[in-house]
Structure 1
Amino acid sequence: MRRTRLTLTAAVVAATSAALVAGPTTAAATHQAEPNVPVQLIAMNDFHGRISQTTGGDALQVTAAGPDGAYGTPDDVEDTVGGSAHVAATVQRLTAEFQAAHGAEAASVFVGAGDLISASSFESSVFKDEPTIEVLNAMGLDVTSVGNHEFDRGTEELRRVSAATDGTYTDDVVACPETLGGEAFRAGVDGCFGADEHAFHGADFPFLAANVLDRETGRPMLPPYQIVDVGGGERMALIGVVTESTPTIVSPGGVADVEFIDEADAINRVVPELLKQGVKAIGVLVHEGGFQQGPSAANPNGCDDLGGPLLDINQRTHPQVDLIVSAHTHSAYNCLLPVPDSRDRLVTSAGYYGRLVSDIRVMIKPSNGDVDRKATYAATNVPVLRTAADARVQSIVDYWNARAAEARNRVVGTAGADIERAASRDQESSLGNLVAQMQLEAVDEAQFGTPVIAFMNPGGLRTDIAAGEVTYGELYAVQPFGNTVNVVTLTGADIEEVLEQQFQADQARQSTLMLGTSEGFAYSFDPSRAFGDRVDACSITLDGVRIDPAASYRVAANSFLIGGGDSFTAFTKGTSPATGPVDVETAVEYFGQNSPVSPPAADHATLSTVRGTC
């Protein structure tokens, strides 16, 4: 059993200067010559509510190179992994091994680096991720940073599931969704869906958000850090931050009350306050990451030509920070990265969906309370094998699966062939075009102004649709965010701007996101041209007729896009808004009326270096 002594130290940001203010300074303890204090962090990231056993490719993890010793070949060794009961058993096993080596009082801390909830599997998402929070509580998670997906349902919902506002519990009465009964509950006490021993009380662990500031107070909306008593009179602090790009990849309206500041800047504001309190052993849980780019990128414990935003964050982070647990890119790596004027820093990521956990082991020097980077200072990404399962966690998963089964297993139609996402989000997909068409037909009514074009963001497509019978649960898994289908009026010039905003690899978003579009819509593009001039305005047509820049068109998209999500800010220029049904319900209706459904062509966008005349 894990033995930790966690204490939350309040920290706020002054409203006038946004500088962090901590509690009373504590003088560092006087140490005699004593052995180093061992500390274990077991880390998980991007779990996305995968409380049940994953299937297909999501359940396979490369665990070793092939016979020739090289990763990235068909001979790589893969094992079946994942499932929260197996995560719990793996954490328990690693903890037992650590404490067998260092004593039963050695501190082992189970941490997260964000995106533990949302974009979840059906049995969690349909209950607003209360099942995942209950599972994480049972697994003994000690602390996590927020991720961008923790903001998918907005800041108020995050406060509810975390049972905290500025680090304090709340008993505010909140209404449950009308579609689920319309009951009321007291936030932090009772949830919308639990009953008896499954009544929802919120997270037993803090969500950290040092770089997410309340716009009204200037203080972090959630605690910025946690201090852990690791035994031997020593303490370790964990700072939590999330990718600064969060407002561009969630619905902007849900985060309008907060400001996301630079990750490294927020970390560097916290570090001096921790040092004033005598805390020198410092780790960061950051929901931003990197990715291996070299030929051995499949090695979960490799660091082959690491790229991505994490490199800059590491470079600019205060040298007093001893380790960084990262996330967001769904990549696994295990690195020692250079730090200016200091020793190399341990930087890890455990992939996604609970397929791996990072076993991080360090020593704290009693002479000064700092991490000894010359002693044991190492990490291993450990596969979550299905050789053992925690019975308590499994019983919780079984309970929620039973409650979700009736709705999930209802057959709503058939697919004539596999309907798939693209290999990457910078490509058009059959599934994206189908979802756009389904949503357009669902709001093809006078009350919505009879829209003529629909768009779908690729990041909102979370899985494919397999050929054969299609269930409600399968359609829910495609779009698990609970967005509504909204309609606005855009000009033809606005529509062109929407299309231009797909191509932002050289802009702040740093990515190309190809939208799904409804039937009859077409255009051509040239990504080699300058931003804002990559779409040929003359090529944008609807049913063969050019879109008039000065004319008005009713356009449908999910509420995430209409709100400007994924940096598609041109949607916010829309007028005469109307709100339609929940996105998954449009898919259920479409399959019920059109089965068997065939995959549409992914040919609405054409790559062309030739410009038309108009």
Structure 2
Amino acid sequence: MSRYFLLLLALTGCASGLATSPRSPESGPTVTFLHFNDIYEITPVAGGASGGLARFATIRRELVASSSTVITTLGGDYLSPSAMGLAVVDGQRLAGRQMVATLNAVGVDWAVLGNHEFDLRESEFRQRLSESRFRIVASNVTDSAGNRFHGTVRNGIMRVPTRRGELRIGMIGLTINSNRPAWVRFEDPMVAARREIAEFGDSVDAIVALTHLTLAQDQLLAEALPAITVILGGHEHENHVVRRGPRFTPIIKADANVRTVAVVTLTWPSGGAAPLVQSNLRVLDSAIAESPDVGREVAEWVARSDAAYRAEGLEPGAAVATIDEPLDGREAVVRTRPGPLTALIAEALRREVPGADVGVMNGGSIRIDDVIPAGVVTQYDVIRILPFGGNVVETTMTGSLLDRVLTQGEANRGSGGYLHAAGAAREGTRWLVGGVPIDRARTYRVATTDFLLTGRETGLDWLKPGNPDLGPVQPHRDIRVAVIEMLRSR
């Protein structure tokens, strides 16, 4: 911590690191926030062309050297989904351990929880919190009993001494409730925000809302609570810089996987006026050198996870194919409509089973929640898309059962149980296979995933061995191997 400034958490009685550097006496009091959100990969993405936490660390250090006070904030979604996080090392899933260790090395100060943090098992989640050296502000999230998770705070006040006196900046954190395991309780974000802001009263010079909400929710927050100085958000994966509400409160989000980061400054003019908020997006590309120490941290985790996947017969760094169009694996797409990625996977299933009439897979098996850009696709990209793996399986279904499966899959639109099919299409109210209506009395050969035949998917509890309309189940290779070969064949 610099000898020029000190960060204290007044409401929690805890200390947290704050990066600082000297400033000229002519300039006014300024605090800089370096903000990023939705970080799933510790390494660069897009074939190494974009992002990377070692590059982010370089940006941070440069900013610290040129700015008075720098606070590094994370807008949620960092523990999951991650292919590396599902690697089994020393008998346990990494489950975000690699991410927390790297974020600690980077020097993150504050984070808010994202919806994907709750993909983890409760024990894994609590362990990651205990490993975190950064503070986590969770104004609307508790455990199921209403108690704060250890390592989180409802709010905080950052005290920043300046040559003109002490600045006090209030921090609140709000999380969307789209992922609700039984061990978590969510409060309405607006209700929680109102309470925390009221608790601050007149004791702060600015209020920062660190959020993982939809843009629409952030806009409502800005419109209803003009006391908020700036909203530093996440969740959308694409950058947004907009102003909403009676005071045109800035809402600022960066691109996922630190493709961009937001540099946000709060400057207090003389006379006690509200701070001026300015922001710019910094693109992280291969022109930015990697921080050596963070680079070593990243390399260590990559080596450990790669070894785990090699033990499963995969070679993460190997190039598979070059694609001409992006493969969109965002949840908002794969759980609501077909697209090039889901068509590719469903066809890979059908190709894996010779003579299969239909290939069927669920959108929820795609966990990347990101876009693979046009260009080289590696095996690690495929692992990111389908981190849980599992076997392709062959079975038979009567036309009656197949029709029922496809109809339920369509009814599951918006959830992980939304089904994608190769070889089948809907025409009005009926399903076609091979271009002709399903014959309910005929038997069809179907390629699908082992998970879909467990009866655990939404509305498909009857789709499991013992159903008289379902034939014997024969396993084939890992679904990721099938997809890799499909990509190579194109």
Aligned to 2:342: 432
1:497-526 Cα distance to aligned partner (Å, 9 max, x none)? 430342x6xxxx9xx997422x443323xx
Structure 1 position 354 matched with structure 2 position 258 = yes
Paired residues of 2:169 and 2:207 also in contact (CA < 8 A): yes
- The alpha-carbon distance between structure 1 residues 142 and 555, as it changes in their structure 2 partners (threshold 3 A), is same
1:210 lines up with 2:139 in the alignment: yes
Cα deviation digits, residues 406-449 of structure 1 (max 9, x gap): 526369996698796359826523542443466689999xxxxx
The offset of 1:352, in angstroms, is 1.8
Q: Secondary structure at the match of 2:256?
A: coil
* 2:278 counterpart of 1:378: yes
1:162 to 110, 125, 129: 129
Q: Secondary structure at the match of 1:360?
A: strand
Q: Matches of 2:325 and 2:264 in 1, distance apart? A: 41
Unaligned stretches of 5+ in structure 2?
14-26, 88-93, 468-474
For 2:71, the equivalent position in structure 1 comes to 109
Partner of 1:230: 160
Provide the residue aligned with 1:48 in structure 2: 40
**Whole-angstrom distance in 2 between the partners of 1:348 and 1:460:** 25
Superimposed CA distance per residue, residues 344-366 of structure 1 (whole angstroms, 9 cap, x where no aligned partner): 21221122211222222224689
**Partner residue of 2:315?**
409
Q: Per-residue displacement from partner, 1:463-494 (whole Å, max 9, x unpaired)?
A: 659999x86534312223x376799x989556
Aligned-residue offset at 1:4: 4.5
Q: CA deviation at 1:209?
A: 2.7
The one-letter code sitting in structure 2 at the alignment partner of 1:139 is: V
- CA–CA distance in 2 between the matches of 1:365 and 1:435? 56
Distance 2:328 2:278 in 1: 37
What is the rounded CA distance, in whole Å, between the counterparts of 1:132 and 1:380 in structure 2? 26
What are the Cα deviations for residues 516-569 of structure 1, in whole angstroms up to 9, with x where unaligned? 22x443323xxxxxxxxxxx44226599563869x9x9975758x9766xxxx5
Amino acid at match of 2:290: A
Question: One-letter code of the match for 1:52?
Answer: T
Matches within 5 A, 1:513-528: 515-517=419-421, 519-524=422-427
Q: 1:143 to 1:417 in 2, by over 3 A?
A: closer
Counterpart for residue 334 of structure 1: 241
Structure 1 residue 43 displacement after superposition: 0.8
User: 1:299-310 to 2 correspondence within 5 Å?
Assistant: 308-310=216-218
Query: Offset of 1:148 from its aligned partner?
Result: 1.7
Offset, 1:54: 2.7
- Cα distance in structure 2, aligned partners of 1:401 and 1:584: 29
Q: Measure the CA separation in 1 of the matches of 2:176 and 2:79.
A: 16
Name the structure 2 match of 1:499.
410
In 1: Cα distance, 2:345 partner to 2:319 partner: 15
Equivalence for 1:609: none
Q: Which of the numbers 5, 8, 18 marks the counterpart of 2:7?
A: 5
TM-score, normalised with respect to structure 1? 0.59
Question: How many angstroms apart in 2 are the aligned matches of 1:279 and 1:243?
Answer: 26
Aligned length: 434
C-alpha displacement of 1:257 = 2.1
* Equivalent pair of 2:359/2:447 in contact (CA under 8 Å): yes
Structure 1 residue 136, shift from structure 2 partner: 0.6
Distance 2:412 2:119 in 1: 21
CA positional deviation for 1:235:
2.6
Q: Does 1:260 align with 2:260?
A: no
Aligned amino acid, residue 431 of structure 2:
S
Corresponding position: 1:324 with 2:205: no
Check whether the contact 1:358–1:382 (CA below 8 A) recurs between aligned residues.
yes
Offset at residue 271 of structure 1 (A):
1.7
Q: 2:430 maps to which residue?
A: 538
Does the CA-based 8 Å contact 2:366-2:385 persist in structure 1?
A: no
Match of 2:200 in 1: 274
Aligned counterparts of 2:142 and 2:466: Cα–Cα separation in 1? 30
Contact 1:274–1:280 (CA<8 Å) still a contact in 2?
Answer: no
Q: Is the 8 A contact 2:329 2:371 kept in 1?
A: no
Q: Which amino acid aligns with 1:312?
A: L
1:387 and 2:389 aligned: no
Is the 8 Å Cα contact of residues 175 and 211 (structure 2) preserved in structure 1?
Answer: yes
Name the structure 1 match of 2:91: none
Question: SS of 2:243's equivalent?
Answer: strand
Structure 2 partner of 1:570: 459
Whether contact under 8 Å (1:334, 1:381) holds in the other structure is no
Which residue of the partner structure matches residue 460 of structure 1?
367
Within 1, Cα distance between the matches of 2:77 and 2:189? Answer: 16
Letter of the structure 2 residue corresponding to residue 54 of structure 1: V
With over 3 angstroms needed to count, the CA separation of the structure-2 counterparts of 1:596 and 1:392, relative to structure 1, is: closer
Letter in 2 for 1:546: I
Cα 1:48–1:548 change in 2 (3 A) is same
Q: Cα RMSD over matched residues?
A: 4.6
Q: CA deviation at 1:230?
A: 1.9
Distance 1:228 1:485, change over 3 A: farther
- One-letter identity of the residue aligned with 2:260: L
Equivalent-residue separation in structure 1 for 2:477 and 2:205 (angstroms): 52
Q: Tell whether the 8 Å contact from 2:348 to 2:486 is kept in structure 1 after alignment.
A: no
Change (3 A) 1:571 1:443: farther
CA distance in 2, matches of 1:241, 1:457: 25
- In 1: Cα distance, 2:347 partner to 2:10 partner: 49
Q: 1:4 to 1:157 in 2, by over 3 A?
A: farther
Deviation at 1:219, TM superposition (A): 3.8
Q: Which residue of 2 aligns with 1:146?
A: 113
Q: Which amino acid aligns with 2:426?
A: Y
Structure 1 gap ranges (5+)? 12-34, 60-80, 100-106, 164-201, 248-254, 291-307, 445-450, 525-535, 600-614
Aligned equivalents of 1:229 and 1:584: distance in 2?
60
CA distance in 2, matches of 1:405, 1:595: 22
- Counterpart code for 1:227: I
